[in-house]
Amino acid sequence: MRSQVINLTVNGTERELLAKPGTTLLGALRDGLGLTAAKRGCAQGGCGACTVVVNGAAVPSCLIPVEVADGATVETLEGMASGQHLTPLQQAFVDGFATQCGFCTSGMLMSASALLAENPAPTRDEVAVAISGNVCRCTGYAAIIDAILDAADRTRAVGSAAAD
């Protein structure tokens, strides 16, 4: 089998890469494009460290053959902050001590960002369901859920202030 040219819109920029058969979206991002925020934890869809947002949905990128994502819009953690300016979600993780070793953080933030884009005012249970595919072995789940709820509040506060 021959390599294929794959086109992706990654964090708003059109990217083109040559992918050998068997290349996953995670491999294409990390090894092909040098975007290493998405992590390889288990390479079998069990830990969520590789979570990115594809066409608006949080997915484990280690399970997606990159050919399937050809033409898709992909968001990774590298595209979340604008310059040095953190989003309310990122700032809530910093302020709420929702990071420990940091290895799950990228996947947690991508799952959370897909949730908040679809549901700006989630309940605690909805947040827990949204990150249920993301393993934090430091077991910091309570702080992570608190931070995501805090981010939703901060975003709504900014939105209502803008509307005034």
Partner 1 sequence: MATTKHMSPIDTGYFSDERAAAFDVVGTPAPRSDARGHVTGQTQYFEDVAYPGMAHLKMHRSARHHALVKGVDTSAAETTPGVLRVITHRDVPNNWYTILRLIGVQPDDEPVLAEDRVLYLGEPIVAVVAETEAIAREAAAKVRVDYEDLPAVLDVEEALKPETIVVNPKHGHNYFTYEGHHCRRIRFGDVERGFAEAPHRFTHTYQSAPIEHAPVEPTGCVVKPEADVRLKIHSDTQACYFTLDNTALILGVPFNRLRVIGGTVGGGFGGKVDVMVEPIACIAAQLTNRPVKYVYERAEEMQVSSPRAAERITIDDGVTDDGRIIARKVTILVDAGAYSRHSPYGTTKAAAHMPGPYTIPNVWVDAHCVYTNRTPSSAMRGFGVTIADFALESQMDRIARALDIDPIVIRLRNAYRDGDMKAHRKEVEGAALVEVMQKAADLVGHDLPADCRAMSSTHREAR
Q: Which stretch binds partner 1 (CB under 8 A): 64-72, 73-81, 125-133, 155-163?
A: 73-81
- Cβ of residue 160: shortest distance to partner 1, in angstroms? 25
For residues 105 and 111, the answer to whether their CB atoms sit within 8 Å is no
DSSP secondary structure of 109-142: HHHHHHHHHH-SS--HHHHHHHTTT---TT--HH
22 binds partner 1 (CB under 8 A): yes
Among 37, 74, 131, 152, binds partner 1 (CB under 8 A): 37
CA distance 85 to 62: 29
| Greatest CA separation for the chain | 59
72 binds partner 1 (CB under 8 A): no
Among 135, 145, 148, 149, binds partner 1 (CB under 8 A): 135
Question: Which of 127, 138, 92, 113 is closest to 37 using CA atoms?
Answer: 113
Site for partner 1 in 88-107 (CB under 8 A): 90, 93-95, 97, 99, 101-106
Among 8, 47, 114, 148, binds partner 1 (CB under 8 A): 47
143 binds partner 1 (CB under 8 A): no
Among 3, 16, 18, 46, binds partner 1 (CB under 8 A): 46
Structure tokens at 102: 């940091």
76 binds partner 1 (CB under 8 A): yes
152 binds partner 1 (CB under 8 A): no
For residues 135 and 111, the answer to whether their CB atoms sit within 8 Å is no
Tell me the backbone φ, ψ of residue 34, rounded to 5 degrees: 70, 20
13 binds partner 1 (CB under 8 A): no
For residues 13 and 74, the answer to whether their CB atoms sit within 8 Å is no
Binding site for partner 1 (CB under 8 A): 22, 30-31, 34, 36-44, 46-47, 49, 76-78, 80-81, 86, 90, 93-95, 97, 99, 101-106, 109, 135-138
